[in-house]
Each structure stands twice: as structure tokens, then as C-alpha cells.
Amino acid sequence: MQINNSLQPIDLSAKLDQFWALSGQKIQLINQQYDLSKGSPVFTVQGQYTTRGWTEWTQGFQFGSAILQFDATDESEFLDIGRQNTLNRMAPHISHTGVHDHGFNNVSTYGNLLRLMQEGRIPYNAWEKNVYELALKISGAVQASRWTTLKKNKTADAGFISSFNGPHSLFVDTIRSCRALVLSHALGHVFQGEGDVKINLLDRAIQHMKATADYAVFYGEGRDTYDVWGRTAHESVFNVKDGNFRCPNSQQGYSGFTTWTRGLAWAMCGFAEELEWLATRSDAELDPFGGRTTIEAFMRKAATATCDFFIDQTPTDGIPYWDTGAPNLYRLGDYLNRPADPYNNVEPVDSSAAAIGAQGLLRLGNYLMAAGEPDVGRRYWQAGLTVLDTLLAAPYLSTDPTHQGLILHSIYHRPNGWDYVPPGSMIAYGESSMWGDYHAREVALYVQRIIRNEPYYTFFNGIAEPRISETNLA
């Protein structure tokens, strides 16, 4: 991609104002028109949200979007939508043992509400706070119960949170669900297993991060023919009898040997935000699990590698195609050296990967600048601003008042053919996804808070205060 090194957060102010105005309209449309009895809204078909999913993994994004809208605009009607639907509808997601998505559903709802209360943005109420905390405690423990033990890495225990595909399956997506474990841990929760065995949630979170870094991310170190610095595999497959790695795979990408860009973006964002969280913890807390130096080293390596790959393998405007190894990309010619074309007739772009990845770029950039590496960090920071600048304008920002989506040209599952393909086209385009819209709101809020010199936005605000420098970011 072509990084705009002159772009500053404040340059996006007018675009952000338009974004939040449109965002509020979309939330109201969905709230008024969508039938929740059909299940969680997932992605749009001809501009209307519909449900089609492997699991109910997007409902937290729906209600979390309303909470973020309130956070950005102070419009109380959105807080009411988010709060009431969280309390009335999200309880089944807390105890859902069959999914790997707790960090999506529950941190986006209960977590955002607790954060706002801790920040003083909504009135303090002890009982309400206790509800949010209890939900997050249990959610993290339930998430951690989906556990597969791996063959020990030298002397260290190893394992991962398994995907809904089964105990053999590690999804790169799940790096963002480590938020659920670390929040539960930070709230002092004790997770107990068979025989009252106490299981440390921070230990499980770190083990999952390490497994993701080791198996889902590649570093150009010769693991296979397609081992390139920063490439990711959507799924890593293990033999559950002996704990050994078997092969990379992909469910939503083209293959296990190509890079599904939304999975890449999950890794970019997940590793970067967990680096920020670890910076708030004491050395004594991290020592039993390898120590700060070791943990931060593998996480930083994974974060920088994936962000580098995104920058290198994305068109000039920062919007990636759905998979960097998609079989017909060659027909587009020199596609990396011009802006992405969502209306081409060969392979679709995925704006949701851009929305998620932008946040990863910004957080990693800020983390590195605060760590005393301004030149390295600034590259990622400016790349994140460049991506966001593109998303906040046509053809990605949805201005049609009848279209329920906010960010256009998102892709859900191209291999399965689930995305809506307009008549006469060979590819899907013009539609939105609940995760793409939510993460666009997250990264927009992140930058807006910096512009306004408001508290730095993290998922753990008020639970563990970040020691993060924001010098010269605005």
C-alpha cells in the first residue's frame, strides 16, 4: 500500500462527523426493521441485514455498535438500545460453550458498558456494575474451557482455545477472544475445573496467544514452501491424541497456503491490543508464564510481521482483496500498485479486513512509538490512518439512507458462496457485515478520542489503566 505520511488524525475530523451521522441512521434502521426472532444479523443482502452464520457470533457487534455510537456522540438513545438489548438478549452468549467468540460478543457489549461506567461516561450503579463484571468473569471462564492441550514446547505448557470446528482446530480469529480471558483474570475471577483444580486464565490466554503466534503466523523461516514473513493461516489443525501440529487449513480463505485477509487482520489487531494490555501488568504477574521479555517478544514479532504483510500485500489505498492468493487475482494485472477496485469482475475486496487491520496498525504504531521507536512506529501509525481515510469515503462509506450497512464491500464466506452477487456480476460487492461495521466504529472512536484529547481507548479502560503515551498523535 501507499502510506500517506502527511496525514494527521485531525485531518479526518470532518469525515468522522459524517461517519457518525450515517452510523446513527444505520443503527436506527436495523433497530426498527430487523426481526431478531430470525437470529443475529450477519451481513446485508441488497442492503438489508439478514442472518446466515455458523454460530451466533455477531449479535454482540449489533448491540455493541449502539454503545460505541453513544460513546462517540453522547446521544442517549443509543446507550438505551445497547444497554437494554445487552441485558435482555446477551445472557445466552455468556454461557455459550460451543463457540470461540466470547471476546466478540461479550466484550463488545458487557465490556463496553463496564468501560463506560468506569470512565464516568454513564452513571455509576453498583448493581449494574456487578452484572457487567459477573458476565465478563463467566464469559472468560467459559471461553477458556474450550481447551486443547498441545505437546509441550520445550518445558512450557502449551495449548489453545479450540474453534467451533472441534478440539483439533485453532482459528486465527480467536486471538481477539483472548480479551475475554484477560478481563476475567483482571477482575480476579477464579476458574475451576474437575476436582476444583484452579486454572489461571492469564496462563491460558498467553498459551493461546503463543500457539497462534507459532502456528497461525509465518515468519519466512522455512516451515513450508509458502512461508513468507507475516502470512497467516486461518486454521491450524492438530492431532488431538498426541498434541502435534498437522497442517495449515482455511475455512473462509482460498487455502491453507494462502492468506485470508480478514484472518490476517484479526491477528494484527489482536496481538497489538494484547501488547497494550500486557504493558499494564506487573512483572511479578507475568513471571510464572515466561516473563515479560519472552511474552512481549513473541507477540511483538507476530504483530509486526502481520502488519508488514498487510502493508506489502494490499493495494495503494489500503483496502485488501479477500485473499492474497485468490486464484484470479493475476487477471487484474498490477493490482497492488493502484487502488483496490471493489467493482471488478474477478475477485472481491474485503473492506471488513481493512477496518479491523487499521486498528491493528494504529495500536502497534502507538505501542512502538511509546516504547521509544518513533520511526518504526510511525510507519504503522500512518498506514492505519491511510486505511481509515479510505474507508471514511466513497466507495466504502454507505450514504444510501435505505441501506442498513455502514461500510460497503465486505465479504463473509466466498468459498461457500454466501455473499450476495448482483445480477450480471461474477463477484459479490456493495454489501456490509456486522463485524465490518462494528470495527469501523471501533477504529473511528479510537482516532476521534485522540483528536479530542479524550482517554485513550482500550477494551480494558477502568479495569487496568494503560501506561500508554499519546505524545504528538493528534
Please list the residues that pair with 217 across neighbouring strands.
232
For the chain, what is the mean pLDDT?
95
Residue 66 vs residues 4, 77, 354: alpha-carbon distances, Å = 31, 9, 21
114 pLDDT exceeds 50?
yes
Q: Which residues have a Cβ under 8 Å from the Cβ of 372 and sit 6 or more positions away?
A: none
Tell me the residue ranges of DSSP E strands in 229-308.
Answer: 235-239, 244-249
Name the DSSP letter for residue 22. H
Q: Between these two residues, 99 and 85, which has the higher pLDDT value?
A: 85
216 pLDDT exceeds 80?
yes
In the chain, domain spans: 9-145+181-190+261-451
Q: Cβ(410)–Cβ(351) under 8 Å? A: yes
Q: Is 231 left (phi over 0), alpha (psi -120 to 50) or beta?
A: beta
50 pLDDT exceeds 70?
yes
Q: Cβ(7)–Cβ(382) under 8 Å? A: yes
Distance, CA of 368 to CA of 153 (rounded, Å) = 28
Q: What pLDDT does residue 469 have?
A: 46
Q: What pLDDT does residue 52 have?
A: 82
Q: Quick one: average pLDDT of 346-364?
A: 98
Residues listed for the chain: 474
Please say whether the structural domain 9-145+181-190+261-451 has been given the CATH code 1.50.10.10.
Answer: yes
Q: What pLDDT does residue 473 have?
A: 62
Q: Which pLDDT tens digit goes with each residue over 269-308?
A: 999 999 999 999 999 999 999 999 999 999 999 999 999 9
Per-residue confidence band for 87, with pLDDT thresholds at 50, 70 and 90: very high
Q: Cβ(201)–Cβ(144) under 8 Å? A: yes
Q: Between these two residues, 473 and 147, which has the higher pLDDT value?
A: 147
Q: Which pLDDT tens digit goes with each residue over 168-201?
A: 999 999 999 999 999 999 999 999 999 999 999 9
Q: What pLDDT does residue 56 have?
A: 85
Q: Which pLDDT tens digit goes with each residue over 424-466?
A: 999 999 999 999 999 999 999 999 999 999 999 999 998 865 4
Q: Quick one: average pLDDT of 79-91?
A: 97
For residue 395, cis peptide bond before it (omega within 30 degrees of 0)? yes
Q: Which three cell numbers stand for residue 6?
A: 502527511
Q: Quick one: average pLDDT of 369-374?
A: 96
Distance, CA of 399 to CA of 406 (rounded, Å) = 8
Q: What pLDDT does residue 468 have?
A: 47
Q: Which pLDDT tens digit goes with each residue over 52-72?
A: 867 789 999 999 999 999 999
Per-residue confidence band for 467, with pLDDT thresholds at 50, 70 and 90: very low
Per-residue confidence band for 325, with pLDDT thresholds at 50, 70 and 90: very high
12 pLDDT exceeds 80?
yes
